[in-house]
Chains A and B, each alone.
Chain A
Amino acid sequence: MNGMAYGRDMEVVQRLKPEPMTAEESAAQEKIDAVEFEIFSHKMNMIAQEGKETTMKLGASSGMRWGDVAFGIYTAQGDLAVVATGIWFHAVLGQIPVKYIVKHWLNEPSVGVKDGDSFFWNDPFYGGVHGADMGLVAPVFHKGKLVCFVGAIVHTGECGGTDPGGMSNNARSKYDEGLLVPPLKVGENYALKEDILNMFGAMTRDPRTMILDIKARLAASRIAQRRILELIDQKGLEFFIGALRRILIVTAEAARKKVRLLNDGTFRQPRFMDTVGANDRLVKVNVTLKKKGDKITLNFEDTTPMIPDKPINTFFQGIIGLCMVYFCGWFFHDLPANNGLLEILDWEFPDNAIVNAKGDAPTSLSPFTQCIFAHGMFLAGARMTYNLDPSRAVAAWFQGFGVPIFGGMNQWGEPIADITPEINATGAGARPDIDGVNGAGSWFATMSDCSDVETTELDRPFLYTYRNYFQNSYGHGKYRGGLGVGFGLMVHHVPWVALGSFGFGSKFPATMGIFGGYAVPPVFVQVVRGSNFKALLSEGRSNLVNLDEMYAPGNPEQGHRELHHISLTIQPYMNGDTFYVPVGGGAGYGDPLERDPAMVIADLREQRTNAWAARNIYHVAYDQKTLRLDSEKTEVLREEARAKRKERAKPYEEFEAEWRQLRPPEEVLQHYGTYPHPSEGLQAGPPGM
């Protein structure tokens, strides 16, 4: 075992930046023709695209179905040189397990890395995010020499934890989170080992999905392997090894160049969250970006300490991964995605912080903490990049999840455990010149898809009560965020099914606006047990068509109604019970008083906003019946609103003094650390850290 004592390898996870160039890679550089290199880069991208499309075609999980997939080509040392994905954290996280394989198994006689092998992992310590994300790579050998790795990472979801579907609200240690597989050989001689597949099947709730997803990753890897070997036969091994390395070099150089164009400075953005899983508690992630020259340094001083028995801790590498989502999608969108980009990034994580999980701490809800960090990146990043390109300094997409999670048997008598796909229909943030896109997708998985209702209903035991845009579910502003979606699920065809949801932002907004734009309103779950909804449908009396009507007087649905935090522990619901969830819209940009009144009228006409918001947020005057705009009166109303603002205004010192008197209830500060600054009086970490 190369001296590793069956514990976590703390060293390999630090190796996120490209490995030092090998002598072989270095020697090849001089001989690489510029045009041949361009042609090679394009070919490698074609291979990765083919790998990604094949993976998606063959898999079964919701993540696989709707595009939560990354297919990568790694150097022989494990650096990710080429990736096809919309999930950009995989552009830097997929490499850790590969480097682990190289470090531990390559020269280990009892394991080894041979032609025809395949390796699987889902331990988030190596995968970086959470156990629901699972990966598989295959080594590629040319005439007996290891030349690269190829493989796919997919959010399969269900991984055998205490709650079905891959995210355990109640996990108290990593041992509650199901499978935790460090990189493990699962196939030899071009065949998967049936005994290992059998074990995975036995340890998870939906064995078919688990195994089909593994087979999909492997099939795509084999196809990519074949293409790469053909390419090496044509271009020669030396060229291949050198050019693969060259991709990392030119990417890093391009990233440095772009970062140099930004103003130097420090950009701060404290962020907060209202849950630690099953309990409503306050936590803080203090994001600071220091930009100097061609480097950006991430710093997390003054962040809530690690919580040893709550699943919202994240490994630091997950934070670096999420940083890439912002970078690849909004700042480096014109560069290739690979871990060469990390050459511009340094990081400083406090020893005891929820962004730096250690020991046995659970992490299955780590995406929450990663998202509040990433929201800080959006806000600080917009300010940091404004001088370079204001059109891309935009408000954030919805950050708070809002995902039903389920487990049980479907209408065909088959076991199921997964999430619903509407997370891929959140609203995009507003821009300096246009509104955010309605129902655009998930900010971290933008190539994903929220599925058809019919496709979900076909093998999930639900009937959607409705699925429409959710009025006012976005941040208002000069330009508003894109709309989110409201939907309801009625348990159908089966006696019962276990349902819960995950997310944050029920107590205060998860997604803040920018440059005067409003935040996205909080989201929460409504359930009706013993609902009469089915009877309303059959009697033709259900007139409910969207989520805002659920909160309106005269709602005809009867039963035992409960309102819950969006982070809701899974529990059984009976046939006919209903479960309502929203996914939020995007954040707003700029002052709503500057919004073109005609755009407010258009939103009223399309029922994207309502009279209350038109009157109280946008201060627009219009004829209630015809929706005809009264421009003059609108200007008067807006002047009045501005005057009232001035009346409310107070000197900053006065505001700050008042603000400092305020304090959240002690109960919600249980895990926060010292209030308001967790870093002041920080306790030592728990035993074992």
Chain B
Amino acid sequence: MGFSINVDIGGTFTDFFVTQDGKEIQIGKTPTTHYELSVGFMKGIREMAGLYQSDLRDFLGQAEAVRYCTTLGTNAIIERTGPKLGLITTAGFEDTIFLGRGRSWADGISLQENKDLARIQKPEPLIPRDMVVGVHERIDSFGQIIAPLKREDVLEKLQILVDRGAMGFVVCLLWSFANPVHEQMVKQLIEDEYPEDYLGSMPVILSSEVSPKSGEYTRFVTAIVNAYLHGVMGDELNKLVTELRTGGYQRPLALVHNTGGMKKVSRSRAVLTHNAGPVAGLHGARTLGQVYGYDNITFTDMGGTSFDIGVISGGRVRAYDFIPVIDRWRTNISAIEVKSIGAGGGSIAWINKLMGNALEVGPQSAGSMPGPACYDQGGEEPTVTDADLVLGYLNPENYLGGKMLLDPDLSTRAIEKKIANPLGLSIVEAASRIRRIIDARMGQEVFKEVVLKGHDPRDFVLFAVGGAGPTHACGFAPYLEVSKVLVPFFSPVFGAFGASTVNIQQVWEKSKTLKIFQWATQSYSEDIDGFNAVVNELKDLAIRDLRLEGFREDQIHFQLEIDMRYGMQYNLTKIISPHLNVKSPVDFKDICDIFTRDYSAIYTPEATFPVGGINIECFYLTATVETPLHKIEPDQINDPQPPAEARRDSRKAYWAGVGDYQDTPVFNFGALKPGNMIAGPALIEAPDTTYVIEPDWQFTLDPYYTGVLERV
């Protein structure tokens, strides 16, 4: 074994997590270089090589894997700087992507924003209306061709797009997931008519290939976002691959996917790379959970501007009934849900005068620019970070390991002027209230997200990562009614750590309606072949794909999940199928029983309705090749008393329970040893975060260097 290099690019920093021979861990951070991400990437690689006393060539030459969570392309979507694409769709449905099922104006914005009906707006489209053409063809709900596709019609419409400057084509026809023949014919015609030497490498993306699922709006959008990202990412990734190769790296660069696996660049769909970092983090939490024997984990990541929530249940990271919105675009990829809520250190506190001068925090955020008032970047609004500073929790001289100096006077002034004076409160009371409110909101949002997935958060272990996670964990944990919070050692680079834990994996999916328990006859279906045909088709695709990656069939592990519903229900509930293939109606009964069992557990037994008929609507076959993981070994346990060198000067911090500032001990995280215990109130300063140990909590550094916060 050699080096395993894992990289996660974030908005501010690019994070690195490297192991040598499955151990010898090093972590690092470099500033993200937005103008060209590969610059920061390669700088970080050099720095990591240095940590192993190696030069770049030796380091990359010995690297067995480079795994990458990229945000390439996401900015292009937000800024609309991607390629000019042409959309070919079914004539009569040219406005589908603009109509957006009516409510596309509400996708990707907060509940509060979408209540202000006089000011709503739909997003600027990724493909303008004059780059959309309709071809005459029609397939119906049974996949039958009702109107044939005409070659001349396609060529005529294609010419319009070419004349208007199309740099790529997205082909999105109705019912193509049930019968892709027309989409395939369009692609063939484009390739025949405009061979590669004429058009260069202009992509032709088919909705039936990117997303063979029912529901044309999300399928079309998924294909368009994929094409858009593909156009942006191609060049940048090629540049990066070339630099890695020049540096001595000989294996493929692997991209982490938001579906929870990874694939090499050439076999990755662009749309699957969006939000890969948080999903990788969730996988990291699962891996760490395995070390401890925790199967059920609520994962939270609180940063400057966002608060991400993910769930691991039964030891698995699962995709739920979830429509991932990328920027303002509703897609249908089977992404792992990491829900982001508008709360973070930058959340702004304000007074709602209309509502009787109620103190509110968020959803507006000061972001990283201008940021909290104490950043002294022009921000005048009081934020959660300002409150934390006024309360004495943050060290103005040692924030982010001293990389950023904070000005407590600016925080005090902002809170005094905007909150304390108008409400007739002391400054510290105002700051304390800001903190209580944001902690409650975060805790309650996390609670709702976990229960909506059918779980009880009280039975889950809470992980808190991110720069502000350990600062607020004791505050929001009570709203989940948990008394134990884990802050992993790799918390500052958790996405990169998570990348090191994902397997080679892809989900193959297809919509197909099968009425496996029939209402009219109250009997189980006998359509054994219908079920098996879909599974076998997906299996063939998966095997073919993974063979191209160099794996043998016997290395591949399959798991089948299916979306199911009662009778006329619209929404779907996903279950894990007990059978990969079915042999008789008895197997359908097994599947129905599991559906009713899971449904009953999530929605109460009163909600079940098996006599109304049970349908399968979509198949998801996950093909996984397990990759060997580095082992996380425990260190030896030391005395509970922290060493003297871990103590820093104490400082005054405000504790609501005490009702006053109190001289509070401060510790240096880096000097703590496994086994050390610290009773609250206390503060622990790490390079990227500050632990706030509230009075009735206790901190323990465990043998895995995880900070364990427990309510006493």
Contact = CB atoms under 8 A, between A and B. Distances in A.
A65 interface: yes
B102 interface: yes
Contacts of B245: none
Interface stretch (A125-133, A147-155, A443-451, A516-524): A443-451
Nearest to B355: A254
A675 interface: no
Contacts of A59: 569-570
B136 A64 contact: no
B117 A329 contact: yes
Interface string A29-61: 000001101110011001001100110111111
Contact of B99 (A222, A416, A425, A540): A425
Nearest to A118: B606
Interface string B534-554: 000000000000000000000
Contacts of B106: 447
Contact of A208 (B91, B95, B568): B568
A420 B324 CA distance: 26
Contacts of B98: 438-439, 469
B606 A206 contact: no
Given A42-B444, A58-B571, A212-B567, A425 B214 contact: no
Nearest to A187: B606
Contacts of B147: 537-538, 540, 542
User: Which residue, of B93, B114, B436, B445, has the highest number of chain A Cβ atoms within 10 A?
Assistant: B93
Interface residues of A, number: 104
A537 B144 CA distance: 12
Interface in B565-580: 566-571, 573
Contacts of A613: none
A528 B211 CA distance: 36
A537 B148 CA distance: 8
B118 interface: yes
Given A60-B567, A254-B355, A537-B147, A212 B121 contact: no
Contacts of A413: 520
Given A56-B571, A335-B355, A424-B103, A457 B441 contact: no
Contacts of B101: 425, 449-452
Interface stretch (B446-454, B485-493, B675-683): B446-454
Contact of A46 (B102, B445, B608): B445
B606 A463 contact: no
Contacts of A394: 118
B648 interface: no
A453 B105 contact: no
Contacts of A416: 568
Given A250-B356, A425-B102, A452 B215 contact: yes
A636 B96 CA distance: 38
A190 interface: yes
Given A190-B606, A391-B119, A394-B118, A34 B359 contact: yes
Contacts of A67: 103
Nearest to A536: B147
A60 B568 contact: yes
User: Which residue, of B102, B359, B513, has the highest number of chain A Cβ atoms within 10 A?
Assistant: B102
A467 interface: yes
A428 interface: yes
Interface stretch (A169-177, A213-221, A237-245, A293-301): A213-221
A392 interface: yes
Contact of B606 (A60, A192, A330, A459): A192
A211 B129 contact: no
Interface stretch (A271-279, A281-289, A543-551): A543-551
Interface in B49-103: 91-96, 98-103
A42 B568 contact: no
Given A42-B444, A454-B141, A544-B92, A459 B568 contact: yes
B448 A50 contact: yes
User: Which residue, of B99, B106, B607, has the highest number of chain A Cβ atoms within 10 A?
Assistant: B607
B8 to A, nearest CB: 30
A412 B606 contact: no
Contacts of A452: 101, 214-218
B112 to A, nearest CB: 8
A468 interface: yes
Nearest to A249: B356
A485 interface: yes
B609 interface: yes
B604 interface: yes
Interface string A410-454: 011110100000001100100100100111111000111111111
B289 interface: no
A563 to B, nearest CB: 21
A292 interface: no
Contacts of B119: 391-392, 431
A146 interface: no
A53 B134 contact: no
Contacts of A227: 451
A64 B570 contact: yes
B150 interface: yes
A425 B98 CA distance: 11
Contacts of B321: 57
A219 B603 contact: yes
Contacts of B437: 35, 38-39
A635 interface: no
Contact of A540 (B92, B150, B444, B604): B150
B360 interface: yes
A252 B1 CA distance: 69
B379 interface: no
B99 A39 contact: no
B639 interface: no
A290 interface: no
Nearest to B141: A457
B609 A215 contact: yes
A336 B115 CA distance: 10
B414 to A, nearest CB: 19
A671 interface: no
B146 interface: yes
A453 B174 contact: yes
A50 B103 contact: no
A450 B99 contact: yes
25 contacts: A35-B433, A38-B359, A46-B445, A211-B612, A212-B609, A215-B607, A218-B604, A218-B607, A223-B604, A254-B354, A329-B115, A329-B118, A333-B116, A414-B568, A416-B568, A437-B122, A439-B99, A457-B175, A468-B94, A469-B98, A534-B146, A538-B147, A538-B148, A540-B136, A545-B94
Given A209-B568, A219-B607, A437-B120, 6 more contacts: A34-B359, A37-B358, A53-B452, A216-B607, A330-B117, A464-B93
Interface of A: 34-35, 37-39, 42-43, 46, 49-50, 53-54, 56-61, 64-65, 67, 187, 190-192, 206, 208-209, 211-212, 215-216, 218-219, 222-223, 227, 250-251, 253-254, 257-258, 328-330, 333-336, 391-392, 394, 411-414, 416, 424-425, 428, 431, 434, 437-442, 446-455, 457-459, 463-469, 485, 492-493, 534, 537-538, 540, 542-546, 605-607
